[in-house]
A and B are shown apart, each in its own frame.
Chain A
Amino acid sequence: QITLKESGPTLVKPTQTLTLTCTVSGVSLSARGVGVGWLRQPPGKAPEWLALIYWNDDERYSPTLNRRLSIAKGTSGNQVVLTMTNMDLADTATYYCALKYFWNGYPSTWGQGTLVTVSS
């Protein structure tokens, strides 16, 4: 069974940098075709793709947010880390990580999500 779980701060201040970790079990992040991405969902709104990293370290970013985002695999081998700089009140959202295979266009397995609030 494949599971993903997000972890990180629940509260950040404006202008700070957010770092979130996705811990994956049940699949190897180095297996061909495996990708892990991050999405977010502001309260009452639709989800939005942020970033994705594939088994071969190919990185993809949202065109509108790419200047603020960085995605990387963690040193443990089963983690993916998202960094978002210059956080703003509008970045308050539930952040999800999700599994996406290279040959599928859609994220097939999602984590439970973590609510991040931006407030001074």
Chain B
Amino acid sequence: DIQMTQFPSTLSASVGDRVTITCRASQNVRRWLAWYQQKPGKAPNVLIYDASSLESGVPSRFSGSGSGTEFTLTISSLQPDDFATYYCQQYNTSSQTFGPGTKVEFK
């Protein structure tokens, strides 16, 4: 299985901050990577797919980049609704593994 790591595991930030989360894959996943946002008690919601494509309806302050084994999710100006846990997921292989998550909390 491809192992996914994310860092930081927790991120303290304020409204208006630029936030960057990194995801690394143990093997080359090309551009087959998605980012999700999850709030407590809710299902994950896809933000970015194919590493950098914005899912329909997702605010443009979210962006993704990277390829191969290293990827980033950037929130250009953190909003109150963005405090949540973020997961990356590779889908280069049928096992489609997720990263362990990054919790974005109030500073």
Contacts and interface: CB of A to CB of B under 8 A. Distances in A.
A48 B32 contact: no
B43 A108 contact: no
Contacts of A64: 1
Interface residues of B, number: 23
Interface string A84-120: 0000000000001000000011111011110000000
B100 A111 contact: no
Nearest to A97: B43
Contact of A48 (B49, B92, B94, B98): B98
Q: Which of B49, B98, B101 has the most CB of A within 10 A?
A: B98
A54 to B, nearest CB: 12
B49 A112 contact: no
A55 interface: no
B71 to A, nearest CB: 13
B87 A46 contact: yes
B94 A110 contact: no
B99 interface: yes
Given A106-B89, A108-B46, A47 B32 contact: no
B43 A112 contact: yes
A46 B98 contact: yes
A106 B98 CA distance: 11
B34 interface: yes
Contacts of B100: 45-46
B49 A106 contact: yes
B72 to A, nearest CB: 17
Contacts of B55: 108
A62 interface: yes
A49 B99 contact: no
14 contacts: A46-B87, A46-B101, A48-B97, A62-B95, A96-B43, A104-B49, A105-B32, A105-B50, A105-B91, A106-B34, A106-B46, A106-B49, A106-B91, A110-B43
The 5 closest A-B pairs by CB, nearest first: A105-B91, A110-B43, A106-B34, A46-B98, A49-B96
